[in-house]
Structure 1
Amino acid sequence: MSMWHGAKARRAAAVALAATALTVSLTACGSGGGNDAKENGGSSTSGEPSADTPKDDGAGGETPDTSQVLATMSNGNGLEIAFHSAKRDEGGFLTVTGTLTNTSSKQQYAPVEWNGQEQQVRRTGRSFAGFTLVDKAEKKRYYVLRDTDGYPLTTTGVVAVKPDEKVAVFAQFPAPPDSTTQVDIQLPLMPTATIEIS
């Protein structure tokens, strides 16, 4: 019984942390309407035009700082993901942020394989629950965290991506040991990318 209650408490802590992170990101991003960002040229710190700033996916992901690119992966059909950060959070979590871009001249669709294979995440609909991290040094694989209802702590709702459209994505995992500074990130139908943990 104590193991069950311990697991339940850990899941509750994960949900509370995710809710806090979501509240903070929505507060930071929700101070003005969508038109304000266009009129003011966006809030990019790299001085790039606002057209290059990925939009918030509206499903819990925050707009990442695109000034740094840790790695990219591409499926060869025009969908490309650039990873911008992999940060350890308090509570033993690792949050990876990135930008999904359609580099083709045609509308592309996020593959259903990206949703993951588990029954409990299929009801979420389109998501990035198929992301995994591989710690080669420790010989461990990490999956996207789920909340107590089985929903993945990752970007959801991405189906169609228009030409040149950028969508902010995130995924939260259990953090590897502090000694691990580099992991491989994988997503079905995409090549493996290696990213540094900050």
Structure 2
Amino acid sequence: MLILSGSPTAWRPLRIAIPLIAASFLLTSCVSGGGDDAGDSDQQQDQDGPSGASGNDGPLATSLSTSTSYGSNLQLDINTLERESDDVVVLEMTATNVSENDSVTFDYALVAADGTYRTPDGVTLVDTANRERYFPLMNTDGSTCLCSGYENNSIIPAGESLDIWVAFPAPPDDVTSVAVATPATPDFMNIPLSDASNPDDNIANATVEDPRILPLSGFQDDIDGTTSREESGDETSILLSSDVLFELNESDLTPDADEALEQVAAEIDASSGEEIKIDGYTDNSGSDAINNPLSEERAESVRDRLAELVTREGVSFEVAGHGSSDPVADNGTDEGREKNRRVTVTFGK
């Protein structure tokens, strides 16, 4: 199961998940423009949205939805991605119902998992060069994005369209293209970022919360819950359940530990990292006087076995025990405590 953009109350390593990157189709032909005005969110009651929303030269890219119940009835076009100021860029899109008969209810199509109904707050920009994901700018109350809402026309009749825009923190000046990820479509690659010919001062100068920009990392949790992994730009971290590696309150490896450690060793052999970090953790049961040395002894046991299994030359190991510090789950539940009892092996790719 691939977990994306995880909640801070879940596994803490879930800093950002990466659905990079499905196919999109670049077009040169003209696609019809949007329909009625997209409506206003609370902060945009006096804003008409950015200028040039129709994408006069045709869309930069388009995709038919394949990941939602809309199937091929929903087409999403990327019209423009422009810098409104040094700090703000605006993405303009058009959603089109290409069905000949059926309406499309667009209420949740672009909403984030924890987002606001009838807003495009689930759309993100991915700076693949710097490996960062940009989330929509949020109004100061934190409830809605700086974006178009579509409260009055979220149902798109057959053959009609809806124009949408959403503002983001601006990537660095040297970034000339990004990927666009939406909950409803495959991701769009290499969308060019240009300067707005007629910047919208209301959007460029809007009062918003601090920008949310997170490093890209992928996190995968095995079905049986015994191992997990986090992928960042240049590192891999494998989280091994102590309940599989050790008996209760023991630091000697169990017979079941070898299978998991053999797989870790094979990945280390295939990697380029020379320093392997091994960190032991416990749940918050018991005292630090017990947990701290136990976590370090368990990390040392994993190190000793990996040193036997890894065949690549030039590899060194760094070991640390952290006791119950830095939990990745809720110690108030049995499931959370089980996840917190772990040994993490980290190495360069």
Displacement of 1:116? 0.9
Q: Structure 2 unaligned segments of length 5 or more: list them.
A: 1-29, 66-70, 195-349
- What secondary structure is seen at the aligned counterpart in 1 of 2:110? helix
What is the distance in 1 between the residues matched to 2:170 and 2:89?
5
Question: What's the TM-score, normalizing by structure 2?
Answer: 0.39
Please give the alpha-carbon distance, in whole angstroms, between the structure 1 residues aligned to 2:111 and 2:166.
12
Please give the TM-score of this superposition, normalised by the length of structure 1.
0.66
Partners of 1:186 and 1:53 in 2: how far apart? Answer: 20
Alignment size in residue pairs: 145
Q: 1:71 corresponds to which residue?
A: 61
Higher Cα radius of gyration: 2
User: Structure 1 runs of 4+ off > 4 angstroms?
Assistant: none
Matched AA of 2:157:
K
1:88 CA displacement = 0.6
CA deviation digits over 1:64-90, x for unaligned, max 9?
133231111221331111111111122
For residues 143 and 100 of structure 1, what CA distance do their matches in structure 2 show? 20
Q: Distance in 2 between matches of 1:80 and 1:67?
A: 18
Distance 1:91 1:126, change over 3 A: same
**Per-residue deviation, 1:111:** 5.6
Instruction: Output one character per residue of 1:20-67: Cα deviation in whole Å (capped at 9) or x when no partner.
Output: xxxxxxxxxxxxxxxxxxxxxxxxxxxx9xx85532112254561332
Say which structure, 1 or 2, has more relative contact order (CA 8 Å, 6+ apart): 1
Whole-Å separation in 1 of the counterparts to 2:184 and 2:60: 20
Match of 2:78 in 1: 83
Task: Say yes or no: does 1:153 pair with 2:143.
Answer: no
2:143 is the alignment partner of 1:162 = no
| Overall identity of the aligned pairs, in % | 28
Determine the C-alpha separation between the residues in 1 that align with 2:97 and 2:109: 17
Aligned partner of 2:135 in structure 1 is 143
Which residues of structure 1 form unaligned runs of 5+? Answer: 1-47
Change (3 A) 1:193 1:156: same
Question: Are positions 1:181 and 2:181 aligned together?
Answer: no
Matching residue of 1:6: none
Q: Give RMSD over aligned pairs.
A: 2.1
- What is residue 35 of structure 1 aligned with on the other side? none
